[in-house]
Amino acid sequence: MNTAAQHFPAIAGPLPAHGDFEIEDEDFRFLVREVHRRTGIVITDRKRPMLCGRLSRRLRALGLNSFHAYCEMLAGPHGPQEISAMVNAVTTNLTAFFREPHHFEHLRQVALPGIHKRGQETGERRIRLWSAGCSSGEEPYSLAMTLLNGTPSLAAWDARILATDLDTDMLQTAAAGLYKSSDAPLLSAQNRVRFAEPSDDLDFITVGPAARRLIIFKQLNLLDAWPMRGPFDIIFCRNVMIYFDEATKTKLVDRFADILCPSGYLYIGHSETLFKITSRFEPAGQTVYRKVS
């Protein structure tokens, strides 16, 4: 018997033979509100099939026979047990090593030299990067590799990368550091030799200890209180804000500015912009912004 369904015997029942479950307007609106309240993600009518498809898998896993039963469960005493799984199901996790390579070139050629210069002037050898929305981990590992390649004598620095995501399933994948070789086309031969270890299966690679030791993976909802104080030198938050409404974007960007050091950099996704959202950042490159001191 489905062990998940045992928790909800009153609303379990026959499942559709195949395909996605149908959803009534009232249940769709309830789920849209719940997702927005929990994550800040805005789901429009156009994304209704996406929501149905992803959550239909949850209904099957729970042994529920309708979206109405699922909504009743979320609104009831068992709802908190399902929230994390629901959030994991609806979030999008498209990423890759060195995705949007111009960001890592800017980091290597502009941002890191500025941090090194500051360290020479002040004697403070401290570097803090944050991958906000790290998904399955390729982004923070790419940051670690760039940091190791671009910082002479990094062992003499207090260097850390915080990698956070809302999706707990993705964080488990990220922490494991195991990836298909075919999914890493932008991982250069040099980086593979230096930072990747072959696994028992030659079709996979494992990120080695040099990059892994720089990163701390943590679950974090960007809409909640942030436990870290900062300041950060660099924040990567790419292809996250496209799912938020304007008010949520404005608030989030303002919080990024608060936790960045003076003249710190914020890197955002290729289809995102800070135009008319904030006056606390100035353009510093292609979808790269510098905090206005």
Q: Return the CATH number at 59.
A: 1.10.155.10
d(CA 289, CA 293): 12
Looking at the fold, whether 49 and 139 belong to one and the same domain comes out as: no
Taking the CB of residue 261, how many other CB atoms lie within 10 A of it? 17
Quote the pLDDT of residue 292.
Answer: 96
Looking at the fold, whether 142 and 199 belong to one and the same domain comes out as: yes
Indicate the residue among 90, 111, 146 that finishes a domain. 90
| Lowest-confidence pick of 8-17, 164-173, 187-196 | 8-17
Inter-residue contact 133 to 217 (CB < 8 Å): no
Average pLDDT over residues 67-75: 95
- Which tokens in the block code for residue 203? 């079709």
Residue 92 — pLDDT band, cuts 50, 70, 90? confident
For the chain, first and last CA: distance in Å?
Answer: 60
| Lowest-confidence pick of 8-17, 195-204, 247-256 | 8-17
Looking at the fold, whether 55 and 117 belong to one and the same domain comes out as: no
Inter-residue contact 165 to 174 (CB < 8 Å): yes
Looking at the fold, whether 23 and 69 belong to one and the same domain comes out as: yes
95 falls within a domain:
no
263 falls within a domain:
yes
Looking at the fold, whether 161 and 223 belong to one and the same domain comes out as: yes
Looking at the fold, whether 180 and 35 belong to one and the same domain comes out as: no
Looking at the fold, whether 16 and 107 belong to one and the same domain comes out as: no
**Residue 1 in this model has a pLDDT that exceeds 70:** no
Looking at the fold, whether 33 and 107 belong to one and the same domain comes out as: no
Q: Which amino acid is at 155?
A: A
Quote the pLDDT of residue 7.
Answer: 45
Looking at the fold, whether 275 and 160 belong to one and the same domain comes out as: yes
Q: Which residues are catalytic?
A: 54, 165
Please name which of 73, 147, 72 lies closest in space to residue 116, comparing C-alpha atoms.
Answer: 147
Looking at the fold, whether 147 and 29 belong to one and the same domain comes out as: no
152 falls within a domain:
yes
- Which tokens in the block code for residue 158? 């207090």
Residue 153 — pLDDT band, cuts 50, 70, 90? confident
138 falls within a domain:
yes
Residue 19 — pLDDT band, cuts 50, 70, 90? low
Sign of the CA dihedral 170, 171, 173, 178? positive
96 falls within a domain:
no
Number of domains forming the structure of the chain: 2
Residue 90 — pLDDT band, cuts 50, 70, 90? confident
Mean pLDDT score of the chain: 90
What does the pLDDT look like over 229-278, one tens digit per residue? 999 999 999 999 988 999 999 999 999 999 999 999 999 999 899 999 99
In the block, residue with structure tokens 């290597």: 108
Average pLDDT over residues 107-123: 95
Indicate the residue among 59, 90, 121 that finishes a domain. 90
**Residue 148 in this model has a pLDDT that exceeds 60:** yes
Q: Which amino acid is at 167?
A: D
What does the pLDDT look like over 166-191, one tens digit per residue? 999 999 999 999 999 888 888 999 99
Indicate the residue among 71, 90, 109 that finishes a domain. 90
Q: Return the CATH number at 277.
A: 3.40.50.150
- Structural domain that includes position 64: 5-90
